[in-house]
Amino acid sequence: MTEQTLDKVNTNSKPSDLRITDVRIANLAGIPMRVTLIRIDTNQGISGYGEVRDGASKTYALLLKSRLIGENPCNIDKIFRKIKQFGFHARQAGGICGVEMALMDLAGKAYGVPAYMLAGGKFRDKVLCYSDTPSVPDGKEMGRLLKGRMDNGFKFLKMDVGIQLLHNIPDALIAPPEMLQSRSIMHQFTGIQITDKGIDHLCQYVEDVRSIIGYEIPLAVDHFGHIGIKSCIRLGKALDKYTLAWYEDMIPWQFADQWAELTRAVDTPTCTGEDIYLKEGFIPLLEKNAVNIIHPDLASSGGILETKKIGDMAQDYGIAMAMHMAGSPISALANVHCAAATENFLVLENHSVDHPEWNELVIGLDVPLIQDGFIKVPEKPGLGFDDINDEAMRKYIDPRDPIYFDDPTDLWDNERSNDRLWS
């Protein structure tokens, strides 16, 4: 290599000699979600950060430590294949995904490139965001809250429209005993039905919202409640006239045939996927043309590279990819890099717009991170922030499980088992 070429190369890191030496975590709460952050340290003084999905146990990350020590973090695919067997759908995938984010951060820093480069390059310079907006009982008030989002620059909206709005409306719901209070029984098995009166009430709610925000920008709806598919179809048909962006998670994602039935019965796009782990989990929905939009959560679906694969696979079926995200700026940035690298990306969720302190948890980014409804794709190495804001993060250490990066994780150094999947 010529001396002139060497002048343009970052020689502070020797990626081939890089090795993982430690894994540390920090439990945070009140930003507004609860998350576990992961820091992976190396023999060259470079660290990478990732995040376990909101509400998931730190154990999902720590049990991986003994499988990571000594590995070269730049071998992202090799390590992912080694550890992905320890994840499963929903929160159980949190550790795997958090580790993958941290590996992408590390490898990007080692090579001096932003994470999206490791995913094949970018299709866009900024990523469209929507802000999840807490529900209120009155539709006009909900409309005013959403109009406030528009005034703050958001160009895509989402709200909840579900049976929680009907609990105090007589004759709006038919339900077996105790089912309205249950959250542990799948929608199809509750026996809850929505009446014409209930449907009329929810239609009036959306009508009131639309009367304030108009029809200029997309409005998606979520959290319908644990009602069966026939009630979902009746409600969906009634709401079709409001030209909503999508109906999200009307029924559990596992039932691809029922999703296909629902999708063919309504005129509004259908959307699901935030609890699905790995691209294989999306195949039944795609092969049956059962949804119009997939909606993975990168902190559940397998991390940056796996989620890009999911998006690319969906594109082959003519289906767009929106992305669910309810995490810290670290998870948000991982999503931004994935969204930038995925051609059929539509929009990214955020749950922290009403918490300005959320923007202060990392250093070296725009404040606020979302500006005029977009997050700018960072060009700095790795996930794109300079460092964590230690002082800000310490304010949010979870009092129920007060672990921070200072605390050693030696107890997990020798967690071993026969992990081989064949005999």
Q: Is residue 69 in some structural domain? A: yes
Q: Which pLDDT does position 7 carry in this prediction? A: 56
Q: Is residue 324 in some structural domain? A: yes
Instruction: For residues 153 and 278, state if they share a domain.
Output: yes
Cα 320 to the chain's mean position, in Å?
A: 16
Instruction: For residues 210 and 159, state if they share a domain.
Output: yes
> What is d(CA 197, CA 172) in angstroms, rounded to the nearest whole number?
5
> What is d(CA 376, CA 194) in angstroms, rounded to the nearest whole number?
43
Instruction: For residues 184 and 280, state if they share a domain.
Output: yes
Strand partners, 128: 374
> What is d(CA 335, CA 280) in angstroms, rounded to the nearest whole number?
20
Q: Is residue 55 in some structural domain? A: yes
Task: Give the count of domains, the chain.
Answer: 2
Q: Which pLDDT does position 183 carry in this prediction? A: 83
Instruction: For residues 60 and 103, state if they share a domain.
Output: yes
Cα 400 to the chain's mean position, in Å?
A: 24
> What is d(CA 310, CA 30) in angstroms, rounded to the nearest whole number?
31
> What is d(CA 67, CA 62) in angstroms, rounded to the nearest whole number?
10
Instruction: For residues 183 and 276, state if they share a domain.
Output: yes
Residue 221, domain extent: 118-387
Could you tell me which residues come within 8 angstroms of residue 73 by beta carbon, excluding any fewer than 6 positions away?
A: 18, 20, 40, 42, 48, 79, 102, 103, 106, 107, 110
- Within 10 Å of residue 288's Cβ, how many Cβ atoms? 15
At 239, list the tokens: 């709401």
Q: Which pLDDT does position 3 carry in this prediction? A: 54
CA dist 197 → 96, 176, 238 (Å): 45, 18, 12
Any alpha helices (H) in 136-195, and if so which ranges?
139-151
Instruction: For residues 107 and 130, state if they share a domain.
Output: no
Instruction: For residues 177 and 237, state if they share a domain.
Output: yes
Instruction: For residues 165 and 101, state if they share a domain.
Output: no
Q: Is residue 421 in some structural domain? A: no
Provide the whole-model pTM: 0.95
Q: Which pLDDT does position 12 carry in this prediction? A: 56
- Within 10 Å of residue 77's Cβ, how many Cβ atoms? 11
Q: Which pLDDT does position 112 carry in this prediction? A: 96
Chain position carrying tokens 């049976």:
163
Q: Transcribe 304-362 into DSSP letters.
A: HHHHHHHHHHHHHTT-EEEEB--S-HHHHHHHHHHHHT-TTEEEEEES-TT-GGGGGSE
Instruction: For residues 99 and 199, state if they share a domain.
Output: no
The CATH number assigned to the domain holding 313 equals 3.20.20.120
Q: Is residue 4 in some structural domain? A: no
> What is d(CA 122, CA 117) in angstroms, rounded to the nearest whole number?
7
Instruction: For residues 399 and 382, state if they share a domain.
Output: no
Q: Which pLDDT does position 174 carry in this prediction? A: 97
Q: Is residue 3 in some structural domain? A: no
Q: Which pLDDT does position 4 carry in this prediction? A: 53
Residue 32: asked if its preceding bond is cis (omega within 30°), the reply is yes
Instruction: For residues 383 and 393, state if they share a domain.
Output: no
Q: Which pLDDT does position 98 carry in this prediction? A: 97
Positions of the chain with pLDDT lower than 50, given as ranges: 1-2, 5-6, 9
At 270, list the tokens: 């259908």
Q: Is residue 422 in some structural domain? A: no
Judged by DSSP in three states, 282 sits in helix
Q: Is residue 152 in some structural domain? A: yes
Q: Cα(first)–Cα(last) distance of the chain, in Å?
A: 46
